[in-house]
Amino acid sequence: MKSGEKKVELDMQEKNNCLKVYPNATGVNLYNGLLYFNSGGITSDIPAKIGTFNIQKQEYEWVYQINSKKPFPSYTPPIYHSGRLYILDGENVLHVFEEEKKSNEFL
């Protein structure tokens, strides 16, 4: 791929509105074909969520609502490492999710 060449363009508005998921630009991390993201938490209308989006299938695979009254800090994207997903919420609580062995879903 040439530098700056667009490979895929998706209109995510319908999918995002359906799940009330609005990934933050600074809260994403790509690993093994999955886009790990944090979303919302700014108002009670948009609760804090984390999840995975499968780039190839172009669909959300997993979305989880975090019980936090404060938004995600802009400097804390979700981190995937060794089968675990780490995310620090707006109340300084570290959430750790472990991947199930037979799928890409988290407990």
- Predicted pLDDT of residue 43: 62
Q: What is the CATH number of the domain that holds 39?
A: 2.40.10.480
Name the band, by pLDDT with cuts 50, 70 and 90, for residue 96: very high
DSSP state string for 83-103: TEEEEE-TTSPEEEEEB-TTS
Range(s) of the domain holding residue 82:
13-98
Taking only the tens place, the pLDDT of each residue in 15-74 is: 666 766 766 666 677 888 888 888 876 666 677 888 888 888 888 888 888 887 777 776
Helix (H) or strand (E) holding 69: none
Judge whether 24 and 72 are in contact, CB under 8 Å.
yes
- Predicted pLDDT of residue 94: 92
Task: Give the count of domains, the chain.
Answer: 1
Q: Is residue 3 part of a domain?
A: no
Q: Is residue 8 part of a domain?
A: no
13-18, long-range: CB < 8 A, 24+ apart: 15/59, 15/60
This model's pTM is above 0.85: no
- Predicted pLDDT of residue 58: 83
Q: Is residue 21 part of a domain?
A: yes
